Amino acid sequence: MKNEKLEMKILIFEKRHIIAKGLCSIIKEFENGIEIILIDSLIQFQNNIQNIAPDLLFVNHHLLEKLSDSFNKTKLQHTKIILITNNKSVSFNDFLIIEKILINEIKSQVETKIQNIITNNFAPEDEHNNEGEISERERDIVKLIAQGNTNQKIADQLFISPHTVTTHRKNITKKLGIKTVSGLTIYAILNNLIEI
């Protein structure tokens, strides 16, 4: 179990409830932390798509056809789309289709596709070092954060780039489940990294 909500959203736009729910449960088997939103009507989709801004969009190909004539395509320009279809050869020029899932595919095919889609698009930055205790380097960074240093100061002191500090901070949050500076400070004191 990951201790942080993965910040990613999947939207499933599909009228057939059985298919939408089925897809939803297959995705959850691989990654329980993803936020999945189901939408089954065109109006609802158009009203909410900008608010939701999903990272991945699973959509029935007939519904996508309807969108391509009525919908402002630019709203979906950068959204990665997975088509739910029964037609292997269907294609859309205006959208970023990264995969097709065929309705008659057998279990293992669907599962492999979904697993690939998720790992290719959602792999955390530091996947191998994602669990367990924080490293020595991360400890040093927690100390410096707890002492009130900014990312820039920490970078200067440890001779690394601010971007690297940001990456370290993300990984620290993933491991500890603590997002805020004051939370990290309490952590540092409780674990005797710093004294008060």
Partner 1 sequence: MKINKNMKMADLILMNYQLLPVINRFEIQLGFGEKTIEQICKSKNIDTDFFVEIVNAFHDENYLPEKHFQNRSLSLIINYLKKSHNYFINVKLQNIELMINEFVKKCCSEEVSKIELIKSFFEEYKKELIIHIDHEDSVVYPYAILLEKVFLYQKKEDLEEFKKYKYNINKYASEHSDVEEKIFDLKNIIIKYIPKTKETNLCNHILFDLFELEKDLINHQRIEEKVLIPNAIKMENKVINN
- Contact with partner 1 (CB under 8 A): which of 1, 43, 74, 106? 43
Is 187 among the residues that bind partner 1 (CB under 8 A)?
A: yes
> Rounded to whole angstroms, how far apart are CA atoms 159 and 176?
24
Is 189 among the residues that bind partner 1 (CB under 8 A)?
A: yes
Is 190 among the residues that bind partner 1 (CB under 8 A)?
A: yes
Which residue in this structure is represented by tokens 């158009």? 46
> Rounded to whole angstroms, how far apart are CA atoms 52 and 39?
11
Is 191 among the residues that bind partner 1 (CB under 8 A)?
A: yes
- Contact with partner 1 (CB under 8 A): which of 17, 37, 123, 131? 37
Residue 2: Cβ-neighbour burial (10 angstroms; 0-12, 13-18, 19+):
middle
- Contact with partner 1 (CB under 8 A): which of 39, 57, 84, 144? 39
Residue 30 CB-half CA count within 13 A: 18
- Within 134-163, the residues that bind partner 1 by CB under 8 A are none
Q: Taking Cα atoms as reference points, which of 59, 114, 101, 52 lies closest to residue 81?
A: 59
* Span of 76-84, 122-130, 142-150, 172-180 interacting with partner 1 by CB under 8 A: 172-180
Is 119 among the residues that bind partner 1 (CB under 8 A)?
A: no
Amino acid code (one letter) for 160: I
Shortest distance (Å) from residue 105 CB to partner 1:
25
Q: How far is CA 114 from CA 29, 99, 140, in A?
A: 10, 9, 38
Is 178 among the residues that bind partner 1 (CB under 8 A)?
A: yes
193: tokens are 């990294």
- Contact with partner 1 (CB under 8 A): which of 51, 89, 93, 104? 51
The answer to whether residues 12 and 36 touch, using CB atoms and an 8 Å cutoff, is yes
Shortest distance (Å) from residue 118 CB to partner 1:
19
Between 89 and 182, CB nearer to partner 1: 182
Angle between helices 42-52 and 61-70 (to 10 degrees): 80
Between 17 and 73, CB nearer to partner 1: 17
Q: Applying CB under 8 A, which residues contact partner 1?
A: 3, 36-39, 41, 43-44, 47-48, 51, 176-180, 182-183, 186-187, 189-191
